[in-house]
A and B are shown apart, each in its own frame.
Chain A
Amino acid sequence: MASTPTRAVNPARQLTVIRLVLPAATGTVRSGELDCVMSIQPSPASQTYTVRLRYQHGRHPQVTVIDPQLTLHPDAQALPHVYPKEELCLYYPGEWRYDMLLATTILPWTAEWLMHYELWLITGRWTGGGHTGRSTLCRDRRCRRDIGRA
């Protein structure tokens, strides 16, 4: 771990702070890997999502939604802003660093992702901003025009 920045926050401390921010979160740290499950309801209207966060010291945090299963806008073929295996894409490379607390970055970013996901289910338009390598909305050109006009 010589390459890890000296100010990196270790997984045990990350978990402690996560529990301070979301007291209902449960998790373990084994062999330097944090595995944490928590409930997030991003707005009073929103569903309550069970989210799993895994983080190995010195690597990138991985966030997946365990429940309910994520669904698609009727005109879409894929979820916006996800990596393979439906791992949520929450930040641009460089925006998250090892010296940051997951509880004050990845967790609220997840809440925000979920909020924009629910809005996307209605409008088919991702309002969360960000970059995509290719279109994540409806790939049907005719449909996309409809969304543009709405």
Chain B
Amino acid sequence: MEQMLSMLLDGAVETLDISPDLQQVAIERYEEVGTWLAEHGGYRCRIYPQGSFRLGTVVRPDSSTGEYDIDLVCWLLIAKENITQADLKQRVGDLLHAYMRWKKRHGHTDGPKICEARRRCWTLAYPDHGFHLDVLPTIPDVEYPPTGILLTDKQLYRWQHSNPIGYANWFRTRSEELQLRLTEAALKRNVNIADVPEWEVRTTLQRVVQVLKWHCMLRFARDPDNRPLSILITTLAARAYRGELDLFTATRNMLAGMDDHIENRHGTWWIPNPAHEEENFADKWNEYPERREAFIAWHRDITGVLDDLVQLQGKGLQVVVSRMAESFGHDAVQLSAQQYGDRLRRHTEAGTLHMTSTGLLTTTAASAPVRGHTFYGQHTDPRG
């Protein structure tokens, strides 16, 4: 049953994942921005992805535009003593605008259509492709070398510590499957494993994070302020992961284990950033207790849904799928069910479908293979 639920969930999440083609376009676009900045910017600088795009845990936002957010770090080699926060933000903005003008001057039509300031970052919009790049201005954090960075806070007043590369490295250590897949990719391309990014593969850990984030996004569609942070869910999930390969089982176990990783330090709720112990992903819980309550309510909901699904064993695939669709979105789950049927048919055609002694169809057991055939009808006298 778990295997079947995994297949349905996996298929649903796959429809929300960024397609390899779109991922490639996004990479080409930001690499071009990075190359241009390096050549024309007058600073030593780098652009690299962070967050869910880097980790390979992207899900399509359930918004009216449905555009993928791709978070990037724009790293300028400037000492913090030599620049203010407002200056850093402005300099990156000026560079990005200069890049846009350069693209237009050279007749390039594939550049960003808009470059606008958000609170912490600059957004380059590529509406034709359905994604935008959020470029976060940063400088090196010399206290946390080599990957620590400093970014501006929302008021452009204090420096915030961050370490997206360190976080991704930690995420990688949480899953042997992920390390194995990255090693395979490295061998195939004859490069160092450190040069294979997480986003190139999809493993159970990444899929679970996508499932959790997607459920959370739908659950808080009308209450976005209280929606648990993706980084918080990702961190708790990865900490609770014990190497399960089955998606459904892994998701249930990880939900059950999350509580063990929420600390209370002398009355303060605390979920440390694994790449930067002083950063508390739960700091807002202390300021706004309703956000912690929202997390608990979400956790209870999704745990309940997964329990329900197991209880529906033997009630009919249509009943199971309806329940799943209530919580994980009608379109995604329906499409997954359809793909499941298509896969089943391909197994029949390939002669890899078998039937067990209770009539169960399986693609693994060494039972009677199902001979190729064609459903036929409705005819009044079809067999004549």
Contact = CB atoms under 8 A, between A and B. Distances in A.
Interface in B352-384: 353-355, 357-361, 368-380, 382-383
Contacts of B382: 83, 89, 93, 133
A95 interface: yes
Nearest to B330: A150
Interface in B312-360: 312-322, 331, 334-335, 337-338, 340-342, 344-345, 348-349, 353-355, 357-360
Nearest to B338: A123
Nearest to A119: B341
Nearest to B342: A127
Contacts of B312: 45
A21 B316 contact: no
Contacts of B354: 108
A123 B337 contact: yes
A101 B321 CA distance: 34
Contacts, number: 187
B361 A111 contact: yes
B357 A21 contact: yes
A23 B359 CA distance: 10
Given A43-B317, A45-B315, A129 B374 contact: yes
Contacts of B83: none
Contacts of B4: 43-45
Given A60-B383, A118-B318, A128-B341, A41 B370 contact: no
B334 A122 contact: yes
Contacts of A39: 358-359
Q: Is the interface of A mostly helix, strand, loop or mixed?
A: loop
A65 interface: no
B371 to A, nearest CB: 5
B1 interface: yes
Interface residues of A, number: 58
Contact of B317 (A21, A82, A113, A122): A122
A41 B373 CA distance: 20
Given A123-B334, A125-B338, A131-B376, 12 more contacts: A38-B359, A39-B358, A41-B359, A43-B4, A45-B1, A89-B379, A119-B318, A123-B338, A129-B349, A131-B374, A150-B331, A150-B335
Interface of B: 1, 3-5, 312-322, 331, 334-335, 337-338, 340-342, 344-345, 348-349, 353-355, 357-361, 368-380, 382-383
Interface of A: 21-24, 38-48, 60, 78, 80-84, 89-93, 95-96, 100, 103-105, 107-109, 111-113, 115-116, 118-119, 121-123, 125-134, 136, 150
The 10 A-B residue pairs with the shortest CB-CB distance, nearest first, are A127-B341, A130-B375, A89-B377, A40-B359, A92-B374, A118-B317, A44-B1, A121-B318, A108-B370, A108-B355
